[in-house]
Structure 1
Amino acid sequence: MNEPQNWWIQLQAIFKKFGRNLSRFFQKTFRRLRSFLRQQKKDSRNPHDWQFKFNVTMSTIRSLILYAIALLFVLGGLGLGMGLGYFSGLLSHEEVPTYASMARQISDVKQSSELYFADNVKLGDVKSDLIRTTVSSDQISPYLKSAIVATEDSDFYEHDGVVPKSLIRAVLADVTGLGTQTGGSTLTQQLVKMQLLSSETTWKRKAIEIMLALRVNKYFSKDQILESYLNTATFGRNHAGQNIAGVQAAARGIFGVDASKLTLPQAAFIAGLPQSPSIYTPFTQTGELKKDTSLGIKRERVVLFRMLRNGDITDQEYEAAKKVDLTKQFLQQGTATQQNVKYGYVYNLLLGQARTILIKQLIKADGRDVEKVKKDDELYATYYTSADTLLRQKGYRIDSTINKTLYDDLQDATSEASANFGQSYTESAYDTNLQKTVTITEPVQVGSILLDNTSGKVLAFVGGRDYDESQVNHAFDTLRSPGSTMKPIMVYGPAIENNVINTESQIADFPQDFNGYKPSDFGQTSLNKFISASYALEHSYNLPAVNLYNYLLNKTSVDPSAYMKKMGITLTAKESSELGIALGGTSEGISVEQNASAFSTFANNGNNTKPYVVSKITAPNGTVIYQHKETKTSVFSDNTAYIMQNMLHNVVSEGTASTLNWRLNFSTDNVWGKTGTTNDDKDIWFVGSTPGITLASWMGYDNFYGNQHSLSSNASSINLSYWSQMANAVYSRQPNLLKLNSAMSRPSGVKTHSVLASTGTADGKVTVGSSTYNLKGNMVTALFNDSEPKAATEKFGIGGTDKNYELFWDNFAGKSNNYGVRVNMDAKGNVLDASGNIVKDDDDDTDTTTNSDATTDSNATTTTENTN
């Protein structure tokens, strides 16, 4: 229908004018009444006559009554005018639905929402236990039509879609909290609520409901409206325990007959269900017949009486129907048909995230604070159920960012690589939920994320090896220790950003006791020397990372956890205060999604774009109710991003991920990344980026039953091979995604300076004790974040004890000592001699930290690799 879009504005003006005119009418009537009473008083003849007194008394009483009536009329007129004005104001910004739109929606009996991959590729429908079969009006028993009308809306064929007295009753029910589920609503309104509106319960929604009911009644016949209602209304559960909607599903699921074959008692029973389906349904959630079905039978008798009162059946039919024992006609328990889920990991992810979005919208629509509601488990559960019901029983459309082709490619790569993942363990374990011992199989699990750096789109992911075996989504839902992948984002990035280091700054790699915390490098060793920041990150040495993090916490005002929070990873104060966090020693861990997103910050010029999967949600009426909006946070400067790309490229070109050079089918000139391995090879990571995408891969055992299975010693190499297979698949399919020819331009703030390879400082003279050293020669190029090299000093590095510096300068002076000779350590961090005995503190070249503010981290459990 082509009506002007501003018709609500016109309607509002009409309502307001009507209110004003009504008010003026009652005011004029009031004035005329007052004038009349005054004239009556003047016409009285004898003030001493008893008739005069009687007349005055009666006149006064009559005046009071008339004044009261007039006042009520005036107030009523004003109230009506205000109410109509408020009603029209609520609707003034609502779009007028077209005939085609309404026709589509009231006849749309899709029982669930639709899920889509990117590019309009359908994934499937949301699973629902709501069973529905659509039938035409002539396939529905006349008994059932009459029963529904007599019970739910006896004036259905007379009204225009809305009954004023019923509306008043509904308002009173809302205000007082009393009333039935369908009280105050005509069948037309109920159809509108089911098919055209959301589940929010606001006055605005009620106003829209009234408007739509009037409009539906205008453009559709009563038979069309009734047919649509009977095909969409819910009727409890069937004999398999499934929720049913539509009279055909109700007839087949309760009595085993078609809707056209229903007897009068059967039709009356079904017609009584919509008022409270869960109470009147004869079946339980499992499909068993309830022990007590008396409430449903009583409701059937009410329906029969209303049919009699409405003239739909005779007294004889009424009495005969009451004598029928329906409990003997209910079906016996059946079995529900299982619904297969395609793309299980994607399905669960989209459904879960869409549900969360709708929950927030429902909470906000009710004027509540989302965070406060989350703290109230019972209230949040109510919104959860409402949102879940909308998705399972309404025709929403959820569009995602997941590229189906790329997703399939990653699954294929996983399947091809899985033979080399490692051993699967089959063993017995006690299941606390089942409360019995079960046989389980623990395979090596994987989780991966393919992320678009700029937009934050999750293009594809791997949730696990086999959805049928495990529905746990290891890409989004499991939290694991990130290992050394934490170093660039938690330690080196903030240090570069705040000019604490340049790429050649020297950091201590000596055995050291940090108030009881004694970390070591991979293989329980220490290099026993100072090494450059770039080399330390390139080969993933632990002691330099701990020393640098300790320096940030105690010698600067830098808060590394603040940078982590900007990248979407929130750490507790305890976590961020412990030195082990530099090596990934979190208390709970982080997800693959979080790790990939944080790492993508370097590829995005130092900006973090929040990752997302759901791009759009469309309501059944075609209105887009959710559209993802890009959320970008500035974390590091472009100077830092460029320098970190440079340092992390060394990991690929010469460091712990150098095997990628021959494993990848494309040039690694613009590839950078970081490996990560935790204690006892429990978790293996590689997070790698190109200018276009970031691909993160995790590998490990779930160990859900308290087992402590670890990966093989070559798991890091296996994971790099697996990562390469996925990256090659993406490159083969969509090479432009990687943007390999779009290297970041060097920012003007990135300065290049020559520094001493031995100290990472400018050359010059340094006095150490009574000796003066002229530092020069053996210069290397370093990248600086808009700063200059520091002057050479005795204590030139980050970390290190007095004995460490003494060892360095003696070696620099030509003295033969063990500077740079690898030191072996035990699991507790104690230095060992050649025979494997613990070296006492006063006999070795180590010392406890002289920094009284050093942070204790004796409980840290995470170490990382520094070799292939």
Structure 2
Amino acid sequence: MSIYEAFRRAMLGLALTGGLAIFAAVVFIGYCAYTLPLTRPVGEQSPAAIVYATSEGTPFAARGVYRGEKLAADHLPKNLVDAVIAIEDRRFFEHGGLDPRGILRAAWRNLTGSRGTEGGSTITQQLARLTYLSPERTLRRKVQEIMLAFWLESRLSKNEILANYLNAAYFGAGAFGIDAAAHRYFGKKAADLDVSEAAMLAGLIRAPSHLSPSRNPKAAARRMDLVLEAMVETGALDKAKATAARNHPPELAMPPETEPDDNYFLDTAEVEVKRLVGNPPLDLTVTTTFDPRLQDAAEQVVKNWLSGEGAQRHVGQAALIAMAPDGAILAMVGGRDYAQSQFNRATQAHRQPGSLFKVFVYLTALSNGFTPETIMLDQPVDIDGWQPKNYDEQYRGRVTLRTAFAQSLNSVAAQVAQTVGIDKIIATAKSLGMQSELPSVPSLALGSAEVTLMEMTRAIDA
């Protein structure tokens, strides 16, 4: 075979390979175009945000999603626009949806480690991703992102793209959209943000959960400084104003990150809110009876008991409710550690109350002709084969009802229950708020039924 023939065959092979590669690329791009999701997916309605405040009106926790008002394209706050453009897409007003220079700049900075990692996607690409695409990381999604970016650029003005982007972006702490974030973090409208506040919020877009000032204030401050530096580089801000903004960092007007064990109280409050108003369509502020100092004390009491007497008894969990005389719940601990177990042993765990249930036995007796001085005989008893014994297995003979209650004598409580009737005792307990099933059996007098700590506390407090 001549050199010419070998060269010709090699060229034909390369041409065929290239042609097949181009054909495959065209088919793939066509497939991406055919499967473009040009309609916005309808997601589930997110729950409205609820801010929980103490009885004094001080916010201490928040749950749900903040949605705020939508920014109009012709009323975009200048501070915010300058900050977002500087840190996210400097050539936003110049490119047509894709910015090769921005991609190269981001790649260079990521390679050299300058300012940490940086993304190369334009704001238009990010809007396409936020609005139409799933979070999956595939070549098809990236190609569709670019296609959608060009499509958006052809349909919307730059200000409309920017407004839609700011209204859709997530800023951490449950805030979707810039107005929601402004209210969530600073208690003001997006239009009223100053330079430092706008810079901090613009910096959250890249990693909202990690940079949230309520969770990681130092990281949020460092990111704000980076945004201010970028604004100086783009000419949106002079060095003097940037320095002034750094010297007057934003002050948060929001509850801090919830202390983990406070969530036992919050879970219970949330259930009560839904019981009263269902799923609220609007953001709410709910004033509770929560006492932060008493909550801290309650948590410490539980931890101390578990590490002391609880450890000696091989007890792994405990619960505590602090309730005011009017029934207000001031503090609640549902277990050793909420992060490890969200099961609330104060409201969900059913346990035998034991002798504590005798309160209902004696209350029923006093309502049915007994007095504290009524004489009872502390002696062995047999009720259909059930033979309750006193704790010390000793019997004291004739005792008053007052003494029997004070010394928690099981035999007397059982006899009193048989005299007044188990059904009447159940009715008394139910009238005081007991909701668990109470079987009509003799042993009920000594607390054999399983109830929750919340029920017992509320009934005794009634």
Which has more helix, going by share of residues?
2
Q: TM-score, normalised by structure 1?
A: 0.26
Q: Which has the higher strand share?
A: 1
| TM-score, normalization by structure 2 | 0.46
* Bigger Rg, structure 1 or 2: 1
